[in-house]
Chain A
Amino acid sequence: MKYRIRFASVFALLAVAICAKAETPSVIAIKDARIVPVSGPVIPKGTVVVRNGLIEAAGASVPTPSDAWVVDGQGLTVYPGLIDALSTWGIPNASAIESSSPSRRGGFTPPDFPPAPSTPAAAPGPIARGPEDRPSNTSYLLAADQVSPADRRVETARAAGFTGAATFPTRGIFAGQGVFLNLAGQRAGNMVVQSPAGLFLTVRTAAFGGGFPNSLMGAIAYIRQIYLDADQYKTAKEIYAAHPLGNKRPDYDKTLEGVLAAPRVMMPATNPKEIERMLKLGHELKLKTVLYGVEEGYRAVDLLKKHNASVLVNLKWPAPSREADSEATDSLRVLEMRDKAPSTPAALAKAGIKFALYAGALDRPQDAARAVKRAMDAGLSAEDAIRALTLSAAEIYGVADRLGSIDKGKIANLVVTKGDLFQSGTEIKFVLVDGVKYEPAPEAPPASPEATQ
């Protein structure tokens, strides 16, 4: 019995390998398709040529190379591959991105978030008595080192049109460094586009009795102290390197090394007060801040505009609790918030604020299309929606010079559909990742387990 199962799985693996291998021609031309380059106007009928994993040419009058494997693109649309701008896809067994902050109102009850689980790297040590103990800090952790093509969500994400993701460790206050991934590859190393992609911060703390910090104010003070320490650490190291004689050697601190290595900082903010709080903190600490969450961004457009903020909007729109009777428990304010949250992307687009949408908080990648559709129903144009899931995400992570649009020389990450993206009934025909073609799996994968645990 055991043998048979093993045999079956080996067979399945072989089958997958054959599929992938069988379809890896080095030159592909998608002919006579509608092309949405995102970086420029739509080409109603044209050809995209891919060679050795890169886009060789795209346009209305591009000739088909003689050595190309040709796809008849009649009735199909070619888009740049979708990017999940904040994700845990690619790290096996990682939970989905949690809501950026629990919305608590009006009370002075201590935060009741679950205690931050210790990271795999950190053994349970003595209780933290202050910032100097560096609690909940794995800023040095690299998502790039944890990525594996074996994460089942990589395949389901591709089936939903995603070819890239900014994937982060998410546990702890200083969770660690993200990586910008391509969602396919024989080995983990093939998948990495850019590392580190940014430092993921949360303000989740342990409950009372769990050591420092155990409150939101403690978490913020801790973040501030770490950045002041990092500043001093950098200066001290520079001075010491230039003048080792007569100066005391600065102690090595891996958490500060991590903080200093981050090209940008992802900060959680749901509503206007949190947006104001985090933008001010980021400004005070001179950080390159990217806000994530921002479900109530529709109420903070002026503030975001004023700070020239970069924003990642959570596609998991707030929903009523399944247990509660909304009439009995929810205030007018909460009802308004749930009604208007999906209008956030439209409001940001209208104001010209740089934003991307992320699916990493959704239970399943295939829920993304409907969530985007809700934002479109609330006023987001199709162009802005596509941009928010492609080029804008690439721009926020500083990789727009190599992907995010259909342009000559860029990485050949494409999604090819029958019908317009995000509309119901649209089929994802196939995606290209690094120029390799992947078709959605013939059988829809089981609904739940791969996403949550």
Chain B
Amino acid sequence: MKSIFLALLAGVLSIASAQTIVIQNATVLTITKGTLKGSVVIKDGKILEVGEKVLVPPGAQVIDAGGQYLMPGIIDAHSHIAADSINEGSMSVSSMVGIEDVLDPEAIAIFRALAGGVTTANILHGSANAIGGKCLVIKTRWGKDTEGIKFEGAKPGIKFALGENPKRQGMATTQGTGRRGAADTSNLRYPGTRMGVEDVIRQAFTEAKQYQATWKDYEARKAKGETVIPPKRDLKLEPLVEILEGKRLVHAHCYRADEILMLLRVADDFGFKIKTLQHVLEGYKVAKEIAAHGAGASTFSDWWAYKVEAYDAIPYNAAVMVKKGVLVSLNSDDAELMRRLNTEAGKTVKYGGLTETEALSLITINPAKQLDIDNRVGSIEVGKDADLVLYDKHPLSTFAKVQKVMIDGTVYFDRDKDVSDRDQKQLRKKQLIEKEKQNQPQQKKGFAGGARRPA
């Protein structure tokens, strides 16, 4: 069945992007290959040529982008849109759940993110548990179905969380206990402290190693021809085995320097890597250690003090980590902020003096590397996916508006078209409301008189 879906997907893509498109006269911010005034040629959904003077293939659709700015589609490394549920908060290790199972390709937040220039997003499980659910990387292909919005081939990920959120235990109840007024703590969740969070992660990976060994033992005995009852498959432990085998990327929600160091130590002890630290607001205190582990950092621009563990945040965090050699990205963690990540990147020019290209890297090529998809997206380079955003002004300006967004060479958002369609949609809405109103009284009459007359 998967092959049916892939075939379908391939069919859709080839129809939509078989065309050759040339975007001309734009200021092209390639991110990795400098900035130039020129053109980008797109064929079969991929970037074919980038340059000041390109050859326009016969029959190509030409988009004149005179005075406009073209940059790679924005990548949000931390988002919670497009899913029907986010937290399985009932237990401290919920690695059996995954966003892929609850994807909502019709969530309006996808359209809004798209209209804000986002073409790729990492949809994460929430931070309710030390080891949360599996993540999914999507492209904001508005209008496509569940299969159609998946970033095909992206490496799977998983959410971890440290600190305040995973150590929330819930409320003790006073009902159902033998002694009057005695609190019933049986429904409280372990852990209740930061020490406990570490313990939960260590315990889980200890079990995962055991599970791995059990299956290896079974396979070996079966290969020898023995009649053995197969062990149970455990959907909670399987993703952890994948982490140990380097097949699944860990994205860990964290705030404080001490817990960041704790997690890096745990990972070293068990022999796996933390791919990114998420939020990581005290990352500037331990940037060298983060860089040494090889972990990326995906942080906020200047959000702080919204909870106790965010009090030591500084707006220079991203810039400091960049200068210490950490691979840094800026994320939204929010459907609204997601629409203007370009201005979030702009703040790092003010706080920390990053160059324009460095600033834009934080929302393009760097998150692409953090998600292991930089061979496909994150910059305007020949051979990469034609995921492009056209702005009317420089994207780091607060005045910049998205004009067009293209994914795999297909235009998914066009501001002019969107604006011109609004009247028609409004009209259609009015018509439907009228129709419903007209049917309403008639239905009610039918309801009263509808009881069957018995024979």
* Residues of chain A whose beta carbon lies under 8 Å from any beta carbon of chain B: 104-108, 110-111, 124, 126-131, 159-160, 208-218, 220-222, 224-225, 228-229, 232, 235-236, 239-240, 242-243, 247-248, 250, 271-273, 276-277, 280-281, 283, 303, 306-307, 320, 326-327, 330, 332-333, 335-336, 338-339, 366-367, 369-370, 418, 424, 427-430, 439-444, 447
Contacts and interface: CB of A to CB of B under 8 A. Distances in A.
B433 A215 contact: no
Nearest to B453: A427
Contacts of B104: 105-106, 273
Given A108-B80, A272-B145, A335 B433 contact: yes
Contacts of B231: 232
B90 A273 contact: no
A228 B107 contact: no
A209 B86 contact: no
B105 A215 contact: no
Contact of B86 (A105, A110, A128, A327): A110
B107 A215 contact: no
B432 A335 contact: yes
A250 B235 CA distance: 20
B227 A221 contact: no
Interface string B408-440: 000000000000000001001100110110000
Report which residue of B4, B81, B429 has the largest number of chain A beta carbons within 10 angstroms of its beta carbon. Answer: B429
B186 A127 contact: yes
B450 A209 contact: no
Nearest to A248: B229
B432 A427 contact: no
A239 B97 CA distance: 30
A111 B98 contact: no
Interface of B: 1, 4, 80-81, 83-91, 94, 96-99, 101-109, 125-126, 133, 145-147, 170-171, 176, 186-187, 227-236, 335, 425, 428-429, 432-433, 435-436, 446-447, 450-455
Contacts of B87: 110, 215
A240 B86 contact: no
13 contacts: A104-B84, A106-B335, A130-B91, A214-B90, A215-B89, A218-B85, A221-B96, A221-B97, A240-B229, A271-B106, A428-B452, A442-B454, A444-B452
Given A108-B83, A216-B84, A367-B447, 19 more contacts: A106-B108, A127-B186, A128-B90, A130-B91, A160-B452, A214-B89, A216-B102, A220-B102, A221-B101, A224-B235, A228-B235, A229-B232, A272-B145, A276-B147, A326-B436, A335-B433, A367-B450, A428-B455, A440-B452
Given A209-B170, A216-B102, A320-B436, A430 B80 contact: no
Report which residue of B89, B102, B231, B335 has the largest number of chain A beta carbons within 10 angstroms of its beta carbon. Answer: B102
Residues of B contacting A: mostly: loop
A326 B433 contact: yes
A-B pairs with the 4 shortest C-beta distances?
Answer: A218-B88, A215-B85, A335-B432, A216-B85
Nearest to B448: A447
Contacts of A211: 90, 187
A139 B235 CA distance: 21
Nearest to B109: A106
A300 B108 CA distance: 19
Contacts, number: 199
B433 A427 contact: no
A215 B436 contact: no
A221 to B, nearest CB: 4
A243 B230 CA distance: 13
A104 B304 CA distance: 31
B454 A225 contact: no
A50 to B, nearest CB: 19
Given A106-B109, A221-B88, A247 B455 contact: no
B332 to A, nearest CB: 12
Nearest to B103: A273
B55 to A, nearest CB: 40
A160 B451 CA distance: 9
Contacts of B452: 159-160, 366, 369, 427-428, 440, 444
Contact of B236 (A130, A208, A320): A130
A126 B185 CA distance: 11
